[in-house]
Amino acid sequence: MAELVVSLVVQPIVEKAIEAAVSLIKEEVGSVLGVKSEVEKLLSKLTSIKAVLEDAEERQLKVPQLKDWLGKLRNAAYDAEDILETFATQVAMHKRKQKLRRVRTPISGNKISYQYDAAQRIKKILDRLDVITEEKEKFHLSSGVNNNSGNSRNHNQDQELPLTGSFIDTANVFGRDDDKERILHMLLSDEFDKEDDAFVIPIIGMPGLGKTTLAQLLFNEERVREHFESRMWVCVTVDYDLPRILKGMIEFHSKMEQSTSSISLLETRLLEFLTGQRFLLVLDDVWNEDYRKWEPLQQLLKQGHKGSRVLVTSRTARVSQIIGIRSPYLLEYLPEDQCWSIFKKIAFNQGNFSSRMQQQNLEAIGREIVGKCKGLPLAVKAIAGFLRKYDDVNKWRKILSSDIWELEEGSSNGPHILPPLKLSYDHLPPYLKHCFSLCSIFPKSYAFDKAEMVKFWMAEALIQSRGGGRQEREEEIGIEYFDELLGRSFFQSSNIDDKVKYQMHDLFHDLAQFVSSPYGHVCQVKDDRSSCSSCCSPETRHVSLLCKHVEKPALSVVENSKKLRTFLVPSFGEHLKDFGRALDKIFHQLKYLRLLDLSSSTLTVLPDSVEELKLLRYLDLSRTEIKVLPNSICNLYNLQTLKLIGCIWIMELPKDLANLVKLRNLELEEMFWFKCSTLPAGIGKLTNLHNLHVFRVGSKSGYRIEELKELPYLTGKLHISKLENAVNGGEAKLSEKESLHKLVFEWSNNRDSSPQSQDVSGDEERLLEDLQPHPNLEELQIFNYFGNSLPQWMRDGRLQNLVSLTLKGCTNCRILSLGQLSSLRVLNIKGMLQLEKWPNDEDCRFLGRLKISNCPRLNELPECMPNLRVMKIKKCCSLKALPVTPFLQFLILVDNLELENWNERCLRVIPTSDNGQGQHLLLHSFQTLLEMKAINCPKLRGLPQIFAPQKLEISGCDLLSALPNSEFSQRLQLLALEGCPDGTLVRAIPETRSLNFMILSKISNLDSFPRWPNLPGLKALYIRDCKDLVSLSGEGALQSLTSLNLLSIRGCPKLETLPDEGLPTSLKCLIIASCSSLKSLGPRGTLKSLNSLKDFYIEDCPLLQSFPEDGLPENLQHLVIQNCPLLTQQCRDGEAEGPEWPKIKDIPDLEIDFICNRSPIMPEKKKASWYRPLVGRGGLKGRKQMEQGEPSGLAGCSKYSILLLHFA
């Protein structure tokens, strides 16, 4: 049986060389020293050869000599393109210098030199093409062959392709129901629980069977979500890197990026949430067969709760043996009927059959093709994705009868290439073949972004321009390329860090490496030093270094491959790449580089010699410590993308940035745009620029607002500041910038804002009117605008896509009139000092979020906001009533001194379609409310009548005397009361089983707490700053709190002792701080009986001298004593042992002031760590400092809620 053979794809390379020649001729470079005539000859030869390329590429598998001929042609075309682009760049830079001098200069020796050099080098290419042309004749190639296999569709034709989502779409998954249920049983049933370890379930199967898909189904299953307290997903791949795995687990759980690579620190952080929790961990695509690498992770996983599970997917059964599982779950081939369901879903998705006979014929052929896929879902998806575009029965028969089905799937030592995947590749258009094969430069399981991949292809000039109708940008065409490969399953979508990323399945990666292997024009250099010379040749064009130490391999690459176009070095975690001596050689010797990756390297200074890379289109300097970009970088005439993400020390851009006329992507950290005081002059010359986050308007030439005029491709966000310097806003042409989704208009806030400054007001109204955005705008922010009214384009409904609007510091606007903004969902208003009314209900009928702050004259809101979910109103001192909000879920009211009316219901007319009159409907507010905060609203007399929140916080509302009764309190989980006189609200706390978190702060005139109502679910109680509190329980109140796990008492200066009747025996943590009169912790046995107590903190209690006579609980693990001088003296050890020392000496984790004694008996991972978020750095004092400056003691109470997780 024959082996799979690789066919060369040369058409796109020849076409790029032709395009370069045509471009030079159009530029009229002149006939000095014969350059133009040589270029025309070159164009003629390449064009004549191109005419027979389709025939040559189709016949190369049958005529092996044709492959060698195509290889020579490819190399010649590459070299021709390099020479032509170098010459074109030299011509353009010479013209620019002439323009700067503004006079015609005689032809310099330098100009003669580079034109003569170009002419001579083109002649050498012509000589090579003469030989290639002569050899062509012996193959008798035909021109104009219509190769359907290569051009499966008209390149200009639009096409709809299925796009996969971030998560698994169960509607597109067929089969595996039995597999899913069996593994679900192992995940959920307690019969598989292990006492001291997580139960591991390995799913083993060959590539393409759907192991990852099955794991995704299980991971997202509702029963699994409910069963496990924590779920984590980590893609492991070939490189079993423990720090990366630990990071992945922590980041998936916390949703926060981890910057450290320290294994010990990562282990500590992981244990903080893993210990005692029932978790599910998915380790996808595990290759490691070394038990020593698996053991450290296995030890960590033992700290989880009984019932935890680890789901492992792997292609090798050896992995299951390494992790101690003798009977892994072996995934079988998918049954043919289920494969047919997949095929039918994809191939017949559009269902456009011309006849019943055609449908029957295609289905019959399709079933035979599915049979040849041998039960591999990936192969079925690939071939179906290709065939879905054809309804020609003959085309389907041709695929069915292809010889490739009978070929071997790679050699024994080579990659595993499935014939259906190779068949799908063979029928890609040439331009897509080129794009796909170049993806082999990335390592396996590499996650890439769609936009970044398109930039990569653009840097390599793989995007073909096309004529016809609308002028399309390269980015648009590139995205279409990407989506087409995605639709054919060459790429797969995945969800990484809550972002949509894409990867190639390992089998497709093998295919990409296989098809890019001939003549080694793509090379991966791995840790094996010898692989450099073996894979890198003088004709190698693309290299990636997949090794941690890059200097020696880089030197070898530069020495062997002078024609390199791509130099890519993917990052390895936190490891910084040190190029050493190789960097200078890269700049001076790799003259044809288009893409250079220096990211995550030790680079601190970018040398001026970077300007030697004249053809460079993509330069990545991200995550380096470069402080200043040399001005020589502005001589990179062809540069399209400059990446500076994570370069935190860069404060400014080089002064001649405007010379980078082809720059499209200038990628910097968001903070840079605000740190940089001034952008370089003439930014408007960068007519291809896509991202300019901030533009500060100046009065001098090169800084005026008209610089924005010639930037039509700006995308995403644009913040225009210092608008007081702008004269004619229309010059910015914002209405033509259709890709801008967010606009910020900002005037400086240090101007005269008085209503009498009419000239300023009128000027700003006219300016803002001229700044009319494109209708595609989704978010608009206006800061410090002094006009009296909002612009007409906002009021007349032109911004039908506007979702979010922010108005801040618009001090002269009296009436808020927004017009018909049907898409508006978010409205933020702050500092509109003259705003009085917002009368029109129609302006806000679709609003979902409303925040109004510091509008002291606002006295009227719309009567009803029917779709509002979130409302925050702060410092609106004239507002007396709220709107009716039937679906409100979150309400925050702060410093609204006149607010007194909840306005709980209104009558609305709902239009009907039959008679046009309408139906009357009574709407009620607050029925759906989940959280409410009312702070310093002194005229509020009561709470809403129908009101059942989950969280309720009240502070400074002196007239409130009642809380929701028991009927409406069965959802209440958090209750925080502050500043309630006479403890009225404390006595009104309702009986409820749901309340688990309560804060009582600054309760005046209350010497003891009453007996609490039945609160069986209360787990945490904070008592703070109650100046008159003498006793915690006059009626044995605390004893009734049978589920209390945490009790914190702070800032109670009159409290002298803990209650005689003791504390709840369920306590796990006790905190006593800043109780200056506290002398006793209660009578004998008060603390000794607290068998569940694990953590005890005492701070700033200067009169406290001793513990109760019976001592402390035997199970106490952690004791902290800070700033308690008398008690500390009694707890001293050593020769002058204090009388209290014997009571505490056996506590494993002991901290007395700044002396720390940690017992070696308890391992570090078992010691208390969760209390740190509560006490903060520097103990309880640190926590107190964290709260200073907050408007209310309740403002930070949500920070405490995380502690409840530790008491579940």
Tell me the average pLDDT across 942-957.
Answer: 84
Residue 1199 lies in a domain: yes
Tell me the average pLDDT across 33-46.
Answer: 84
**pLDDT for 1200:** 41
Residue 567 lies in a domain: no
Tell me the average pLDDT across 553-565.
Answer: 89
Which of 319-333, 557-571, 943-957 has the largest mean confidence?
Answer: 557-571
- Give, in order, the Cα–Cα distances in Å from 153 to each of 385, 430, 630, 902: 14, 11, 47, 64
For residue 818, give both structure tokens.
Answer: 């927004």
List for the chain the helix, strand, coil content (%; round to 5).
Answer: 35, 15, 50
Question: Which region among 347-361, 757-771, 974-988, 1160-1174 has the lowest average model confidence (pLDDT)?
Answer: 1160-1174
326 and 340 share one domain: no
In the chain, the largest separation of any two C-alpha atoms, in whole Å, equals: 109
Q: By C-alpha distance, which of 558, 614, 561, 600 is closest to 581? A: 558
Residue 486 lies in a domain: yes
Residue 498 pLDDT class (50, 70, 90 cuts): low
- Give, in order, the Cα–Cα distances in Å from 962 to each of 386, 945, 993, 1017, 1024: 69, 11, 19, 21, 21
**pLDDT for 173:** 67
Q: Is 74 or 152 the better-scoring residue by pLDDT?
A: 74
Tell me the average pLDDT across 15-41.
Answer: 78
CA-CA distance, 1184 to 1187, in Å (whole number)? Answer: 5
Q: What is the pLDDT of residues 105-146, one digit of tens each?
A: 444 445 557 778 888 899 999 999 999 998 888 888 887 654
pTM for the complete prediction? 0.76
For residue 139, give both structure tokens.
Answer: 């193959």
Question: Which region among 321-325, 640-644, 998-1002 has the lowest average model confidence (pLDDT)?
Answer: 321-325
End residue of a domain, out of 293, 309, 330: 330
User: Which positions ≥6 away from 17 have C-beta within 8 Å?
Assistant: 42, 46, 77, 78, 80, 81, 84
Query: Which residue's structure tokens are 């025309």?
Result: 40
Residue 631 pLDDT class (50, 70, 90 cuts): very high
Q: Is 454 or 1157 the better-scoring residue by pLDDT?
A: 454
For residue 82, give both structure tokens.
Answer: 């390099």
**pLDDT for 168:** 58
Residue 563 lies in a domain: no
Tell me the average pLDDT across 521-545.
Answer: 76
**pLDDT for 284:** 87
- Give, in order, the Cα–Cα distances in Å from 435 to each of 189, 460, 469, 776: 47, 9, 24, 31
83 and 111 share one domain: yes
How many CB atoms are located within 10 Å of the residue 202 CB? 24
352 and 448 share one domain: yes
Residue 570 lies in a domain: no
CA-CA distance, 121 to 137, in Å (whole number)? Answer: 25
**pLDDT for 177:** 81
CATH of the domain at 366: 1.10.10.10
**DSSP β-ladder status, 997-1001 and 740-746:** unpaired
Q: What is the pLDDT of residues 653-678, one digit of tens each?
A: 999 999 999 999 999 988 888 888 88
Quickly list DSSP for 109-135.
HHHHHHHHHHHHHHHHHHHHHHHHHHH
Tell me the average pLDDT across 642-657.
Answer: 93
User: Which positions ≥6 away from 1093 have C-beta within 8 Å?
Assistant: 1067, 1068, 1069, 1070, 1087, 1112, 1113, 1115, 1116
**pLDDT for 616:** 96
**DSSP β-ladder status, 1118-1122 and 1095-1099:** parallel
Tell me the average pLDDT across 1131-1137.
Answer: 80
**pLDDT for 425:** 82
CATH of the domain at 273: 3.40.50.300
**pLDDT for 1205:** 36
Whether the predicted pLDDT of 805 surpasses 90:
yes
Contact call for residues 926 and 968 (beta carbons, < 8 A): no
Q: What is the pLDDT of residues 214-254, one digit of tens each?
A: 898 899 888 998 899 888 888 887 667 788 888 888 888 77
- Give, in order, the Cα–Cα distances in Å from 932 to each of 483, 949, 1125: 45, 7, 42
323 and 349 share one domain: no
Residue 532 lies in a domain: no
CA-CA distance, 90 to 94, in Å (whole number)? Answer: 6
User: Which positions ≥6 away from 109 have C-beta within 8 Å?
Assistant: none
Whether the predicted pLDDT of 696 surpasses 90:
yes
Q: By C-alpha distance, which of 504, 386, 387 is closest to 441? A: 504
Number of domains into which the chain is organized? 4
402 and 436 share one domain: yes
1116 and 1130 share one domain: yes
Residues 1167, 1171, 1175, 1180: what is their CA dihedral angle, to the nearest 10 degrees? -60
Q: Where does residue 374 fall: left (phi above 0), alpha (psi -120 to 50 degrees), or beta otherwise? A: left
CA-CA distance, 857 to 22, in Å (whole number)? Answer: 68
278 and 310 share one domain: yes
End residue of a domain, out of 500, 520, 540: 520
Cα-Cα-Cα-Cα dihedral sign, residues 314, 315, 319, 323: positive
Contact call for residues 1041 and 1011 (beta carbons, < 8 A): no
β-bridge mates for residue 977, sequence order: 954, 1000
**pLDDT for 163:** 29
End residue of a domain, out of 298, 314, 330: 330
Rg of the chain's alpha carbons, rounded to an integer?
A: 36
Residue 737 lies in a domain: no
Tell me the average pLDDT across 459-485.
Answer: 82
Residue 830 lies in a domain: no
User: Which positions ≥6 away from 470 have C-beta within 8 Å?
Assistant: none
User: What size, in residues, is the chain?
Assistant: 1208
Contact call for residues 328 and 317 (beta carbons, < 8 A): yes
Residue 1036 pLDDT class (50, 70, 90 cuts): low
CA-CA distance, 620 to 623, in Å (whole number)? Answer: 9
Q: Is 349 or 1009 the better-scoring residue by pLDDT?
A: 1009
- Give, in order, the Cα–Cα distances in Å from 739 to each of 17, 476, 640, 696, 773: 32, 12, 18, 20, 11
Contact call for residues 885 and 925 (beta carbons, < 8 A): yes
976 and 1089 share one domain: yes
- Give, in order, the Cα–Cα distances in Å from 487 to each of 90, 434, 438, 714: 41, 17, 18, 28
- Could you list the residue range(s) of the whole structural domain that residue 94 is in? 11-137
CA-CA distance, 256 to 252, in Å (whole number)? Answer: 8
Q: What is the pLDDT of residues 990-1026, one digit of tens each?
A: 888 888 899 999 988 888 887 788 888 899 999 999 9
Tell me the average pLDDT across 373-392.
Answer: 81
Share the mean pLDDT of the chain. 81
Cα-Cα-Cα-Cα dihedral sign, residues 550, 553, 559, 560: negative
Q: Is 453 or 904 the better-scoring residue by pLDDT?
A: 453
DSSP for residue 1161: T
257 and 305 share one domain: yes
For residue 473, with 0-12 CB atoms within 10 Å meaning exposed, 13-18 middle and 19 or more buried, which class applies?
A: middle
For residue 525, give both structure tokens.
Answer: 């250099």
Whether the predicted pLDDT of 410 surpasses 90:
no
131 and 206 share one domain: no
Contact call for residues 257 and 496 (beta carbons, < 8 A): no
326 and 364 share one domain: no
CA-CA distance, 482 to 476, in Å (whole number)? Answer: 10
CA 20 to chain centre: 38
**DSSP β-ladder status, 804-808 and 1095-1099:** unpaired
CA-CA distance, 1082 to 374, in Å (whole number)? Answer: 77
189 and 121 share one domain: no
Long-range pairs of 873-879 with CB within 8 A, sequence gap ≥ 24: 873/899, 876/852
Quickly list DSSP for 622-644.
TT-------GGGGG-TT--EEEE
For residue 489, give both structure tokens.
Answer: 């399953």
For residue 149, give both structure tokens.
Answer: 């296999």
Tell me the average pLDDT across 614-630.
Answer: 94
Whether the predicted pLDDT of 149 surpasses 60:
no
